[in-house]
Chain A
Amino acid sequence: MRKNMVVVEGSYAVAHAVKVCRPNVISAYPITPQTHIVEDLAQFAADGEMNCEYMNVESEFSAISALIGASAAGARTYSSTTSQGLALMHEALFNASGMRLPIVMTVVNRALSAPINIWNDQQDSISQRDTGWIQLYAEDVQESADMTPQIYKLAEDEDVLLPAMSCMDGFILSHVYEPVILLEQSLTDEFLPAYDPEFTLDPKNPMSFGAFADPGTYTEFRYKQEKAMGVALEKIEEIANEFKDIYGRYYGGLIDGYVLDDAEIVIMAMGSIIGTVKDTIDELRIQGESVGLLKVRSFRPFPTEAIRKALKNAKVVITLDKNISIGKNEGALCTEVKACLHNTDNRVPVIGFMLGHGGRDIPINMIKKIINKAKLVEKGIFIESEFADLREDLA
């Protein structure tokens, strides 16, 4: 396997993965740190390596809007964005999911303004939680690339038909050079069938898309989106396994565990921080500490049952969030994990730590400090949720 590896930038690995998925229409608008992906795709198109319409649009709002039209016309579609660009798309994100258009976007996670900041956290995609888009979070560059055909297959499944975001941390993954295996065209063609939707804009068979629904009909549209998310819960596992059969790589389906089964302290997180947490756990395990990791790969649909099962032996749960719901003093993962346990007998304490906002570095020592704080719960000192990395001189 090693001989197939090349050292490329994360953005290139993802752009290459998009290319082998054979999208028909790509819309592009530059925004850091997403830009390298659309630049690489532009070069593929310019070199005649892609048979697609590559559209330079005048805003992210038009980037997503163009894909809504293209997807309704039967195309496999792609764009990538981040931060302000994703926020600008907000209204259209609801529209794409309500119309059940399986648009795929890479979200290169970045902080939101103000203050303006181009570095990584996950406030952007977390803030789009309720738009009806599938959200998967990748741990490293290879997973970011591999997630691309997986998420197309998921979004386009005829029982799902939901738009989907493949989330990768800005700079940490998008700009890092790592040895990766670029996705093979032949394997991708085997894994991902051509997109052939039943309903399209076609003069031979006219249909109306985006009708007006009154109180008598609106609710069922939402209900059916929720039902489709339920189907996606099952398909994510299935598709991850199919991917493993064809490409030989696996990252978990909805969730993944790392020395989890016997762990008394379980750390939960999403995205590139997983690597740091694993290194921390490796060190602590040598010292005999009972610490494990529960990686959340799918945030929408939220894997309630899988998480309940995975946490059944935990004595303390730590959630790490690169986002905050201001006014709740919690990150989204913390809130959702608490909520998912509430109607069960499992009364394990869930302690939330927010960190890494605006790209602040997260070293191993910080994870260790967090674990030590969480351990205080055994002595009856309970922290509900707090910032883990505040600078006292500025706070």
Chain B
Amino acid sequence: MSLLKPGHRGCAGCGDAFAGKFVLDALGEDVVIVSPTGCLEVFTTPYPESAWGVPWIHSLFENAAAVASGVEAAMNALGKKNNTKIVIIGGDGATFDIGLQAISGAFERGHDITYICVDNEAYMNTGIQRSGATPLYASTTTSPHGKVSIGNPQHKKNMPAIIAAHGSPYVATASIGYAPDMIKKVKKAAQVKGPTYVHVHAPCCTGWKFDSSKTIEIGRLAVETAMWPLYEMENGEITNVRKIKNRKPVEEYLKVQGRFKHLFTMDGKNEGIKKVQAIADWNAKHFGLE
């Protein structure tokens, strides 16, 4: 049985739950998991129950990287660290926005920790509000489309680049749509000494508004359209990318999600889709995906 036990309160088709399961599949029992506040934290630990078959701590929304730093320091001080991996699994709000300062501090200090960002591109736990990870034009409850709005006006922040700029020895992107690739990267991140980072794209059927049977499929579409490039960086240099054969147009990714539906019905719709396509084109070129 997985170390993330069944019976938790995740939605059917939850991308976060896949991510949590794959992380534990990759790492095994000798870990301490630190979770900031978020969906995964809430749905796995309704007191007195817990889905975690490994030691787990949740403190607050914005401090997981600092808490993990303290866990690592304590285990070193007490001579208990050995091969134990200290791994944060945090959502995009906790990573891109409210917890960024603590992450920066922890990566600068160089703790032997692995940070896994499970990115579902909005604050889903509080009901689909935009975060710094929300893509351009996605409609959320705080960036809705309307008569004078085309949805979220900002581009998604380049979080892996921010982490790489801290001198992290290993930064990778992954997707729950490609489980073996994700598991391999999580394993590698945990094995590399120092602060490492894996950014996992995790579609959310509730927040992105698609059928709960399509989570994996939509995760794959993000990769196949180059909306979510898969790559590895070692010591700041890109060392591996997952190539795309026959890149699909972004419409195929956008049209299956309610959060982008307005792009197909509003006036001047093609302009919006074109701008999204430009993001994918930039990704394809920048990362050499083709």
Same complex: yes
Binding site for B on A (CB under 8 A): 24-25, 27, 51-53, 55-59, 61-62, 65-75, 77, 91-92, 95, 99, 201-203, 205-214, 217
Q: Is B52 on the interface with A (CB-CB < 8 A)?
A: yes
A56 CB to nearest chain B CB (Å): 7
Shortest B197–chain A CB gap in Å is 17
Q: Are B74 and A203 in contact (CB under 8 A)?
A: no
Q: How far is the CB of B53 from chain A (nearest CB, A)?
A: 6
C-alpha spacing A62/B50, complex, angstroms: 26
B residues 85-113 touching A (CB-CB < 8 Å): 101-102, 104-106, 108-109
Q: How far is the CA of A27 from the CA of B56 in the complex (A)?
A: 22
Q: Name the B residues within 8 Å of A214 (CB-CB).
A: 46-47
Query: Which residue numbers of B lie inside 8 Å of A, CB to CB?
Result: 29-32, 34, 41-42, 45-48, 50, 52-60, 62-63, 65-78, 80, 84, 101-102, 104-106, 108-109
Bound Cα distance A53, B45 (Å): 31
Q: Are B59 and A65 in contact (CB-based, < 8 A)?
A: yes
Contacts of B69 in A (CB 8 A): 55, 57, 62, 66, 69
A212 touches B41 (CB 8 A): yes
A69 x B56 contact (CB < 8 A): no
Residues of B contacting A210 in the complex (Cβ-Cβ under 8 angstroms): 45, 57-59
In the bound complex, residues from chain B placing their C-beta under 8 Å from that of A207 are 55-56
The docked-state distance in angstroms from the alpha carbon of A211 to that of B41 is 8
Interface pairs (8), CB distance under 8 Å: A25-B70, A58-B101, A65-B59, A69-B67, A206-B54, A208-B57, A211-B58, A212-B41
Task: Verify B60–A25 contact, CB threshold 8 A.
Answer: no
The 7 closest A-B pairs by CB, nearest first: A69-B70, A58-B105, A66-B70, A65-B63, A65-B66, A75-B74, A70-B70
Interchain Cβ contacts within 8 Å, total number: 161
Most chain A Cβ neighbours within 10 Å, of B53, B57, B70, B102: B70
Question: In the assembled complex, how far is the CB of residue A97 from the closest CB belonging to chain B, in whole angstroms?
Answer: 12
B24 to chain A, nearest CB (A): 11
- A27-B70 CB under 8 A given contacts A69-B34, A69-B57, A75-B77: yes
Q: In the complex, what distance in Å separates the CA atom of A69 from the CA atom of B72?
A: 8
In the complex with contacts A203-B84, A211-B46, A68-B58 CB distance below 8 A: no
Q: Tell me which of A73, A91, A92, A212 contacts B71 (CB under 8 A).
A: A73
Looking at the complex, which one of B45, B46, B50, B71 makes contact with A201 (CB distance below 8 Å)? B71
CB within 8 Å for A67 and B31 given contacts A73-B78, A75-B77: no
B102 touches A70 (CB 8 A): no
A25–B70 alpha-carbon span in the complex (Å): 8
> In the complex, are the beta carbons of B66 and A72 less than 8 A apart?
no
Tell me which of B29, B42, B73 contacts A75 (CB under 8 A). B73
A214 CA to B101 CA, complexed, in Å: 30
Q: How far does the Cβ of A346 sit from chain B's closest Cβ, in whole Å?
A: 43
Q: Are the CB atoms of A65 and B67 closer together than 8 Å?
A: yes
Count chain B CB atoms within 10 A of each CB in A58, A92, A205, A211 and give the residue with the most. Answer: A211
B residues in contact with A206, CB < 8 Å: 29, 52-56
- CB contacts (< 8 Å) of A201 on chain B: these are 32, 55-57, 71
* Given A58-B104, A72-B71, A208-B45: A53 and B77 interface contact (C-beta under 8 Å): yes
- A234 to chain B minimum Cβ distance, whole angstroms, is 29
Query: What is the CB-to-nearest-CB distance from B241 to chain A, in angstroms, rounded to a whole number?
Result: 32
Distance of A60 from chain B, by nearest CB (Å): 11
Residue B77 contacts which of A52, A62, A203, A209 (CB distance < 8 angstroms)?
A52
Contact present for B70 and A68 (CB under 8 Å): yes
Cβ-defined contact, A91 with B70, below 8 A: no
Q: Which residues of B contact A73 (CB under 8 A)?
A: 32, 70-71, 74-75, 78, 80
Are B42 and A212 in touch, CB under 8 angstroms?
Answer: yes
Which residues of chain B are near A77, meaning CB under 8 Å?
A: 70, 74
> Once bound together, how far apart are the Cα atoms of A24 and B60, in whole Å?
23
Contact status A212-B45, CB under 8 Å? yes
The answer to whether B55 touches A202, judged by C-beta atoms less than 8 angstroms apart, is yes
A212:B47 contact, CB within 8 angstroms: yes
Inside 8 A of B80's CB, which chain A residues have their CB? 73-74, 202
5 additional A-B residue pairs with CB within 8 Å, beyond A69-B34, A202-B80:
A52-B77, A61-B62, A62-B102, A74-B80, A203-B32
**In angstroms, how far is the closest chain A Cβ from the Cβ of B124?**
16
Q: Are B105 and A57 in contact (CB under 8 A)?
A: yes
Q: Which residues of A contact B78 (CB under 8 A)?
A: 24, 73-75
Nearest CB of A to B72, in Å: 8
